[in-house]
Amino acid sequence: MELYELPLIEVAEKIRTKEVSPVEVAESSLARLEEVEPLLTAFVTTTPELALEQAKAAEKEIADGKYRGPLHGIPLGVKDLYDTAGIRTTSSSAQRADYVPDADSVSVAKLYDAGMVLVGKTHTHEFAYGATTPTTGNPWAPDRTPGGSSGGSGAAVAAGVVHVALGSDTGGSIRIPAALCGTVGLKPTYGRASRVGVASLSWSLDHVGPLSRNVTDAALVMQAMSGYDRRDPGTANVAVPDMVSGIDAGVAGKKIGIPVNYYTDRVAPEAAEAAKVAAATFEKLGAQLVEVEIPMAEHIVPTEWAIMMPEATAYHMDYLRNSPEKFTDEVRTLLEVGAAEPAVDYVNAMRLRTLIQAAWNEMFTGIDVLLAPTVVAPATLRSDPFVRWEDGTVEAATAAYVRLSAPANVTGLPSLSVPAAFTADGLPLGVQILGKPFAEPEILTFGYALEQNTDTVGRIAPVLEKVG
């Protein structure tokens, strides 16, 4: 078995004990990159020279007794929204084709401090404004979307190029590609980690977090990324808990909310079944299933878009005025619509969000976590980005995929997507576990329990021309 195929924790132990060198690990990752990248186009920019340089530095540090922990020497992909000093950061847009930051984003700097090795910058849907990442193929079927907006990160992890990649999540952009590519994806609580140095889509909805091959990997990286940052007024000045040591505590006696509405509306049978099977697994492990009604369900998606669109336009207004032709038609149209939204609608959406948050907090007084499908359907074709329902109606892929992930952004609650099933065509599907504010350790414990009782987590996609 190649090094890129092993779980992060196994590679980390081999590095710690000097059984393998970080250089060997980096070389394995780069070889896999060369093998699959022509078919996937997961990366905007690759950094093989830097990766080997960082790996050699890690090798020397470890030889000198300066081991930094389980992320030391581990390959990393970074969504191209995150600033990386001296390395272009394009946001997958012609607007920033030549932008080279002088400093690293806070998250990248923290992971460098943990000893991680940068393999490259992964594609995003342009400026994270979409859920399909048109530039990139799904490793399980390259003619299918990897989801988005962190599609390059999902593809890079699922294909085995890197063990972990960074994503961002404004309406589901970590969890959607995680579900469609068969990886784990963690969107933390709003305020858990700094977004300084990360291009914004919607400042009051944006979150940063990892996509990884398994739950423990996500916990390790999220813990390293977390913490208060006075430069980001959205971060919360709360302690960072140990997200790893109690991850195997089990779920016996815990109450799991099972939605009877919203997450059951217009959901493909295979996606709904994946959630039912996951619920049954938790019940066998001693958890109690509690039916819950999602409050204010009809207001969630309108609130998401009514906040996101004007905030996105405000962030990009200079580009929209001075170089609109450099946007793709899709994103330019969304920004123009955002510019036309009345201020009163934005203010009312912000007020409505407060009511939704209060109603969800009340719902969570009777449960520990909420379990639901991550996406409504498996990956659509890249050439035809629509979900086609059995009744003959169609739904644009971005709108369809965001439906089930948006609640965690509107409420700011933490949500973990875990691979749960494969369709008859061999396409992945995920379930998401939502928790109370700053309860990342709890949802990670649930995710770990599910991971240990299924064979769907940790698979590496073969990256074939066709699926099935």
**Active-site annotation holder among 21, 91, 105, 149:** 149
Give the total residue count for the chain: 468
DSSP-derived secondary structure for 208-259 = EEEEESSHHHHHHHHHHHB---TT-TTS---PPP-SSTTTTS--TT-EEEEE
**Is 149 a residue of the active site?**
yes
The backbone torsions φ and ψ at residue 154, rounded to the nearest 5 degrees and listed phi first, read: -60, -45
Q: How many CB atoms lie within 10 A of CB 227?
A: 17
**Is 79 a residue of the active site?**
yes
**Active-site annotation holder among 29, 153, 173, 202:** 173
Burial 355-382 (b: 16+ CB within 10 A, else e): ebbebbeebbeebbbbbbbbbbbbbbeb
**Is 21 a residue of the active site?**
no
Residue with tokens 């980096």: 26
Cβ within 8 Å of residue 81, ≥6 positions away: 89, 91, 124, 127, 128, 168, 198, 199
Q: Which amino acid is at 176?
A: I
Residue with tokens 């909310």: 257
Query: Roughly what angle, to the nearest 10 degrees, separates helices 8-16 and 22-40?
Result: 150
- Cβ-contact 141, 124 below 8 angstroms: no
Half-sphere exposure of 460 (CA within 13 A, CB side): 20
Report how far residue 183's alpha carbon sits from residue 155's, in angstroms, rounded to the nearest whole number.
9
Query: SS3 of 346, please?
Result: helix
**Active-site annotation holder among 79, 121, 187, 254:** 79
- The radius of gyration computed from the CA coordinates of the chain, to the nearest angstrom, equals 20
Query: SS3 of 22, please?
Result: helix
Which residues are the active-site residues? Answer: 79, 149, 173
